[in-house]
Structure 1
C-alpha cells in the first residue's frame, strides 16, 4: 500500500489512493523540535471567529464546563479572523481569566481556511476539535466525537442530518455539492461542509490548507490513508448576529470540488488529464473542421459552428489556466513554507505555534516500507 525511501535530508514515499491514483508525500527527516516552554495537551479546541462578540463568552462558558468534565487536559484556541467589532476584546478578557484559553488575532479577514490553518499551527493537543463560533455547533456533543475517536478512527466528522437553513439557498445546494464530492473523492460521508470535526494531530502533519479547502480535509486525508467516521450532530440556530456566508459560496465550492478531485487523482500525473483532454479536443476540432469545410464546399457555411468551437477552446484554456494557477500557488506555499494568514498577536497560554507535528502516520508508512 505504501512504500518509501529515507535520506539524510528528507523522507519520501509513495502511496496509492483506493481510486488507483498515486500520490507522493515528502516530510523532513529531522523536524524542528518543540520549544521547552511548549506543553502538550490531550485535546485542543479550535474556533475561528469573525464578528462574534455576542457569542464568544457563552460559547466559552459551555466549552469550559464540558471539557472540565471530560477528565482530559485541554486548551481552547480562538482565532479572530480580523473582526471589526469587540470580539478580540472579549477574547482578551477570557484569556486573562482562564489559563486554558488562548487567542490568535489575524491582521485581516481572509477566509475560514486561514483561521483553521492558524489554529492548527498554534495548537498542542493530540486530538484537535474544530468548530464554529456562532453556537450552531453544540459543545456538549464533543464527548460523542471523542468516544468515536477512541474506537481508533483518525478523523470524526459531523453530519447535520436535520438542518434548519433555508432549503433553496443552503440545503439544496449543499446536498448537490455533498453528492458530487462523495462521488469524486470516494469518501462516503454526508456533510463535507461542516467544520465540526475531530482529528488526530499526526494526520494533519502533511495537510497544507489554502484557498477554501477546509471543507475537503477529510477527502485529502483519505488520500493518505486516514480512517474516517461520521456522527450525527444537531444544527441549532445562531446564537446572535448574522451569518457570514452567502449564496456566492456555492459557486466557489463547485470549483473547489474540481480542484480536490485533481489533487486526489491527477496531482502526480497531470499529463493523463490534460493530455487526454487535449487529444479529445483536437479530435473533435478535426471532425468539426472537416464538417465546416464540407458545408462550405456545398455552399452552406456555418459561422455559428465556428463561434461554438472557439467558445469551447477558450473555456478549455481558462480551466487549464485555473488549474495551473492552483498548482503554482500550492508549490509557492509548500515549497517556501509560506502561510496563508498573518498573525497580529497571540495572547494566553504559551505564545507561539507548535513547531512540530506528530509524524506517527508517516513513521509507520516508512517503517512498513523498510520491512
Structure 2
C-alpha cells in the first residue's frame, strides 16, 4: 500500500493492467473497486523547485524521478513505476494536464515497470490483440474505429502496453477512448451501410447538417489536438490481458505509385515483414522513444522489441492516400489473419 494522505479524495481506476489511485479526476479511465490495493498513485505535489533545471534540459532524471515540464500546464515526475506527481500551474487547462498524465507519464511509468509501450491502436481478432502502428496521419485510430464499427473490440488507441517474456508477448488494455478527427467521423458514418459495418441507432449531429458517429450526447474536443475529438468506446472495449497476435504497419502511399497485385490496381496491398523488419518497425514506433536513452533503458527496449519480433508476425499495409480505405483495410487484415490461421492449422 502506498503512503497517501487521508484528507485527500482518492479515486481508484484500472488501466494498462494496473490499479491506480488518483488524486486527479481521470474520467477517461475505468473505475476500479474502492477496496482494490493500488499499484500506482497519481498525486499533486509542489515540484517548482526543479523548474529552473527543467527549463535548461527537459525530460531528465533528477534524483530518483524522471521529470519534464510543459510550459503553462504542469511539471511532471514519474518515480519507480509506482508514482506520478503533478505540479499544476495556475490557470492550466485540466484536459491538457490529463493529456500528459495519460500519455507521456504513463508511457514512462510503463517502461519503468519494464512494459514496452507501442504507439498505435490495437483491436481483438480471434482472441488475440493485433497492433496497428504508423506515422501520424496514416489512419491508425480510424482503422480501429472501423473495426469497432464492424463488431470487433478495441484494446488501445494510443499506447499499446506489451509485456514480453521468454515465452509470450502479452498486451494489457489501455482505456475505452479514441481520438478521431472530424473527417474520419464523417467518413466512418458514410460506411455505416457497408456490409462489414454494424448499424447504430440515435446518431447525433456533431456539426450543423453533418450526421456523424457516434450516438453519444456529447463529444469533447481534445486539448492540444487539431480538430480531434474524444470518442468513448466503452461498449466495444476489451479489458483483459491477451496475447499479441501480430503487428501491422500502416503506410499512406502516394496514388502516383500504382499499388499493383496480380496486374490490378489495388487500394490496399500488403508486404510481409521478416524478423529484422518487424524489429525495426517496433523500435521505430515505440512510444516516446526519444526519451529511452535518458532513462538508461536502450538495451532493455531493444531486447524486448527483439523478443516480440521473434514471437509475432508482421506486415506492412500500403494504402492509397487519396481515398478513404478503412473498409478495405479491415477486410485485408481479416483475410491475412485467416490465411495465417489456416497455415498454422496445416502444420
Question: Which TM-score tier does this pair reach, normalised by the shorter chain?
Answer: under 0.3
TM-score, with length taken from structure 2: 0.23
Higher percent of residues as helix: 1
Higher relative contact order (CA 8 A, sep 6+): 1
Higher percent of residues as strand: 2
Answer with 1 or 2: which has the greater Rg. 1
